[in-house]
C-alpha cells in the first residue's frame, strides 16, 4: 500500500467553518475553563476541542478534520448527523419528547415490536432505558429476582458499566478505591487467544479447559447462590477479543448445569456492527444459543442515550409475579425510542448488516497487511467493523507498548484519523477501531493509508521492509 500523500485532515471539509457557525471558538479559553470547571474522569481529555461532527468525520476548533474510527463512544452506528435521525429528533423534540415513566407512547411500542421481531424466539419482551450500564444493572436485578439467587459471574477483562451491580460484575478497571463491591461476584478468566496460558500441544488456545477450570474455582467459592453469568460476545474494552467459536454454547451448558441465567451484553456489537444483527448469532458452533437476557445500548441509539433489555416471555412473567420493580426518570422515553426505531429501520432497509460484514473484510485485510509490514503490530483481531490492533515491543515477549501506540495514534490524528488507543494498563497498547457502518470503502482505504503512513513515520515501529529515505 502506498504511503498516504493527501492526509485526510487537509482534504475536503478542512476549509469549512470550524464549528458550522459564524462565531469563532476560542479553544485555549475553553480548555482553560474546562480545567477549572469539569471533574476528571480517570483518563485525560483529548487535547483538541471538537466543534462539529458530520458523517464519518469530526472537526476540531482549528478546522482539522479527522475520520472518526470510534463512532463517538462506539455509538454513532449510522454516522454523525444522519439526516433521517436528525429529522426524527427534531420532530419528537417538538411534539413528543418525554413523558411520565408509567405512560406509553407509539415510539416505545413500535420499537419493542420491531426489536423483538428481529431477535430470535426467546427474546420476546423489551424495556428501554438510557445507558449500557443501566441496562446491565436492570439485567442483573431481574436475574437475581427471577432465580432467587444473588451471585453473578463476569469475565476478567469485562466492561459492563459503573453502576453498583454492573461494576461488581466487571473486572477490566474501575474497581479499586471505592470500598466493597456488591457481594457475590466472581470472575472467569477472559478468553484471550493471543495471551492465554491455556494451550493445546500445538500451541493453539485451549479455551474449553480454561472455561472449565474457571468454573471449578467458582464452584469452590460459591455459597450455592449462582444467579447469572454476564459476557460480551467481543470484549471491546478488554482489548477487542471475540469469544471463541463454541464458547457461548459451552458457557450456556455450564449455566444450565448450575441453574444460572445467561446475560449477553451487546452494547457495542449489536445491530450490525460486528457483521451480524446480534453478535451472539455469528458462529455455527454456537447455533441455537439464545441468552436468557440480552442488553443493548450504544449502537441502538446512534449517539442518543438509549439502551434496551430483552428477556423471554417466561422471565417477564416470573418477574411480574415476584413483584419486579424498576422505575427511572427516562425509562421508555418516546424521543430516544423513536430514534432507535429509525436506526433499526435503516439498518434493515439498507442491508447494512451485510455491508458491515463486507467492509469488515476490507478493514481486516488492510490491518493484516500492515501487520506483515510492521513488527510492532503483535495481533489483529475482531469481526466486522470492529477491530483491535495490539502494539507490542516485540512479538516474542508480547510486552504491551502503550507509549509507542500513543505516538502512532498522535500521528494518525495529525494525518486525519482518530483511533482510540487504550490508556488502561490492563490492555494498554490496543487500538479499538469501530467506524460508522455507513463508511464507504474509499473512506476506509484512505483511513488505512493514514495508519500506514503513521506507522512509517513513527520511530520504533520496526518496519519489516527497507524504509525509503
- Per-residue cell: 290: 439464545
Q: Which residues pair with 296 in a beta bridge?
A: 266, 308
| Residue found by looking up cell 470500598 in the block | 179
Q: What residues have CB less than 8 Å from 146, skipping those under 6 apart?
A: 261, 315, 318, 319, 322
| Residue found by looking up cell 479553544 in the block | 27
Q: How far is CA 182 from CA 148, 152, 227, in A?
A: 16, 10, 14
- Rounded distance between C-alpha atoms, residue 286 and residue 318, angstroms: 27
- Rounded distance between C-alpha atoms, residue 147 and residue 263, angstroms: 13
What is the DSSP track for 18-49? TTSSSSPP-HHHHHHHHHHHSPP-SSPPPSSP
Q: What residues have CB less than 8 Å from 88, skipping those under 6 apart?
A: 338, 339, 342
Q: Which residues pair with 155 in a beta bridge?
A: 188
**Nearest alpha-carbon partner for 172 in 194, 151, 187, 152:** 187
Fill in the DSSP letter of residue 1: -
Residue 104 CB burial class (10 angstroms; 0-12, 13-18, ≥19): exposed
| Residue found by looking up cell 457495542 in the block | 268
- Per-residue cell: 418: 482518530
Residue 339 CB burial class (10 angstroms; 0-12, 13-18, ≥19): buried
Rg of the chain over CA atoms, in angstroms? Answer: 22
Question: 266-297 in b/e burial notation, b at 16+ Cβ within 10 A?
Answer: bbbbbbbbbbbbbbbbbbeebeebbbbbbbbb
- Dihedral sign for Cα atoms in the order 191, 194, 196, 201: positive
Helix and strand numbers (H, E) in the chain are 14, 17
- Per-residue cell: 284: 455455527
Active site (catalytic) residues: 159, 232, 265, 268, 298, 432
Amino acid at each position: 500500500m502506498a504511503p498516504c500523500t493527501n492526509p485526510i485532515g487537509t482534504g475536503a471539509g478542512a476549509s469549512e467553518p470550524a464549528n458550522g457557525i459564524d462565531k469563532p471558538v476560542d479553544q485555549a479559553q475553553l480548555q482553560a475553563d474546562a480545567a477549572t470547571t469539569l471533574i476528571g474522569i480517570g483518563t485525560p481529555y483529548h487535547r483538541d476541542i471538537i466543534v462539529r461532527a458530520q458523517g464519518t468525520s469530526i472537526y476540531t476548533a482549528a478546522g482539522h478534520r479527522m475520520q472518526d474510527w470510534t463512532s463517538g463512544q462506539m455509538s454513532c452506528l449510522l454516522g454523525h448527523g444522519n439526516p433521517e435521525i436528525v429529522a426524527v429528533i427534531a420532530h419528537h423534540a417538538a411534539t413528543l419528547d418525554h413523558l411520565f415513566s408509567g405512560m406509553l407512547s407509539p415510539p416505545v411500542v413500535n420499537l419493542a415490536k420491531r426489536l423483538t421481531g428481529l431477535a430470535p424466539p426467546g427474546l420476546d419482551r423489551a424495556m428501554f432505558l438510557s445507558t449500557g450500564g443501566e441496562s446491565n444493572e436492570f439485567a442483573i436485578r431481574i436475574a437475581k429476582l427471577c432465580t432467587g439467587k444473588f451471585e453473578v459471574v463476569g469475565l476478567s477483562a469485562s466492561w459492563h458499566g459503573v453502576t453498583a451491580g454492573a461494576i461488581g460484575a466487571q473486572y477490566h478497571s474501575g474497581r479499586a478505591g471505592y470500598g466493597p463491591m456488591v457481594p457475590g461476584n466472581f470472575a472467569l478468566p477472559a478468553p484471550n487467544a493471543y495471551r492465554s496460558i491455556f494451550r493445546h500441544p500445538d500451541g493453539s488456545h485451549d479455551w474449553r479447559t480454561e472455561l472449565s477450570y474457571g468454573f471449578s474455582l467458582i464452584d469452590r467459592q460459591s455459597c450455592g447462590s449462582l444467579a447469572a453469568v454476564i459476557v460480551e460476545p467481543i470484549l471491546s474494552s478488554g482489548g477487542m477479543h471475540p469469544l471463541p467459536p463454541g464458547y457461548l454454547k459451552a458457557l450456556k451448558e455450564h449455566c444450565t448445569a448450575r441453574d444460572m441465567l445467561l446475560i449477553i451484553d451487546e452494547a457495542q456489537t449489536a445491530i450490525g456492527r460486528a457483521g451480524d444483527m446480534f453478535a451472539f448469532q455469528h458462529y455455527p458452533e454456537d447455533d441455537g444459543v439464545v441468552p436468557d437476557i440480552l442488553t443493548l445500548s450504544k449502537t441502538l441509539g446512534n449517539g442518543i442515550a438509549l439502551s434496551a433489555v430483552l428477556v423471554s416471555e417466561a422471565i417477564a412473567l416470573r418477574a411480574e409475579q415476584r413483584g419486579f420493580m424498576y422505575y427511572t426518570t427516562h425509562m421508555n422515553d418516546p424521543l430516544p425510542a423513536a430514534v432507535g426505531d429509525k436506526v433499526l429501520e435503516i439498518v434493515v432497509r439498507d442491508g447494512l448488516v451485510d455491508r458491515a460484514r463486507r467492509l469488515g473484510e476490507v478493514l481486516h485485510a488492510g490491518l493484516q497487511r500492515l501487520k506483515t509490514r510492521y513488527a510492532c503490530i503483535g495481533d489483529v483481531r475482531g469481526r466486522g467493523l470492529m477491530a483491535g490492533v495490539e502494539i507490542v515491543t516485540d512479538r516474542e515477549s508480547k510486552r504491551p507498548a502503550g507509549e509507542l501506540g500513543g505516538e502512532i495514534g498522535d500521528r494518525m490524528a495529525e494525518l486525519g484519523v482518530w483511533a482510540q488507543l487504550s490508556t488502561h494498563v490492563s490492555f494498554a497498547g490496543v487500538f479499538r477501531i469501530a467506524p460508522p457502518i455507513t463508511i464507504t470503502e474509499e473512506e476506509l482505504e484512505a483511513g488505512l493509508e493514514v495508519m500506514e503512513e503513521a506507522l512509517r513515520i513513527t520511530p520504533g515501529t520496526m518496519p519489516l521492509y527497507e524504509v525509503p529515505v
